[in-house]
Structure 1
Amino acid sequence: MSLATWVNRHYSEKGPAKWLVFLLEVVAASVLFLLMLTTCVDVAGRYLFNSPVPGATELTRLGLALMVFAAMPVITYRGGHIVVDLLDNVLGEKVLKVLGLLSALVISSSMYFLAVRIFELGERSIRRGVVTEFLGLPSGYITEYIAIMSWLTAACMITLGVYRVLFTPDK
């Protein structure tokens, strides 16, 4: 079975979003596997051989950032966030749609402007040559990655919000 056939069978997203979701999930899963491997080797090295992996804590921090921000746009696009619907039975469908659109606009614009600031901080870190504490890895690139994933999350949020308001039928 080809990769395209497998992706088409297992992903319900349409068009290029299907491949973007697949790619981001591959990144998140690969980083999670590497985090697990690093932790196992570090613990085994520490307790069995009295020699931990140098920089394992720093690698774990960087890996968590990579994994979380790779998964964030996917979760947002699929609408996987926690939603409190205490007032859904009280409010009408039109009011709920307006509130849904308003929340999508607020969340996506917040993510966008937050990403702008994060990207500026990443650029400044790169210009100044800021590196991580133990391994000496440039930290600005991870910061810019976080900003890019936040922009992608903002785009997913506004797309999802508008789609749900305009194209979801009333109950």
Structure 2
Amino acid sequence: MSLRGWIEKHYPEPNIYRWVGLLLEGISAAVLFFLMALTCCDVIGRYLFNNSINGAFEITQMGLAIMVFAQMPVITWRGSHVVVDLLDHILGHRIIKVLGIFSVFIVSTSFYFLAVRIYELAGRSLRRGEVTEYLHIPTGYLAQYIAIMSWVTAACMLTYGAYRVLKESPVTQTVGE
């Protein structure tokens, strides 16, 4: 299978969403690989040489934040969240679509206002010069990244999330899907 065929198979989203998803999942994969290598080196250094990597805990915390918030837009626009559909068989298809659109607006506005507040806190953190304990990395930049990714998530949910809700036909899922 060619690279183009693999991308089309694993990234069914249209246009720019495909490439944004590929980029964000590539970032997450690279960070995950780096965290794996860091943890292995830290454990080897701790047990074989009696010396661990300084700041490994801080780097792991920041890497996890980068990884989680890089995946947030992809998970949101694919609708990969946990969904409880107890009333879907009772309510009509039209009501389900209206509730889906309502949830798109609630999620996107929540992410937007959350991002606004996080960005304000990031600016305050940078003005105060707050840094991590061991490596002295400014924490405001990571908070700004989290705010930006939350805005991207809100935009993706509002555009492609709404498109998915309106496009989808009624499908029932079986247990395990």
Give the TM bin, normalised by the shorter chain.
over 0.9
Query: What is residue 61 of structure 2 aligned with on the other side?
Result: 61
Query: What is residue 157 of structure 1 aligned with on the other side?
Result: 157
Check the 8 A contact 1:104/1:161 in 2, yes or no.
yes
Query: What is residue 80 of structure 1 aligned with on the other side?
Result: 80
Note the residue ranges of structure 1 that are not aligned, 5 or more in a row: none
- Give the match's secondary structure for 2:52: coil
Check the 8 A contact 1:100/1:161 in 2, yes or no.
no
Query: What is residue 101 of structure 1 aligned with on the other side?
Result: 101
Q: TM-score, normalised by structure 2?
A: 0.89
Cα offset, 1:3, TM superposition: 6.0
Check the 8 A contact 2:28/2:71 in 1, yes or no.
yes
Deviation per residue, 1:120-158 (Å, 9 max, x gap): 111111122111111000111100000011111111222
1:37 aligns with 2:37: yes
- Change in CA separation of 1:170 and 1:81 when aligned onto 2, cut-off 3 Å: closer
Counterpart Cα distance in 2 of 1:73 and 1:111? 10
- Give the match's secondary structure for 1:53: coil
Check the 8 A contact 2:77/2:161 in 1, yes or no.
no
Q: TM-score, normalised by structure 1?
A: 0.92
Query: What is residue 127 of structure 1 aligned with on the other side?
Result: 127
Query: What is residue 48 of structure 1 aligned with on the other side?
Result: 48
Check the 8 A contact 2:76/2:161 in 1, yes or no.
no
Identity within the alignment, %: 58
**How much is the aligned-residue C-alpha RMSD, in angstroms?**
1.8
Cα offset, 1:5, TM superposition: 6.2
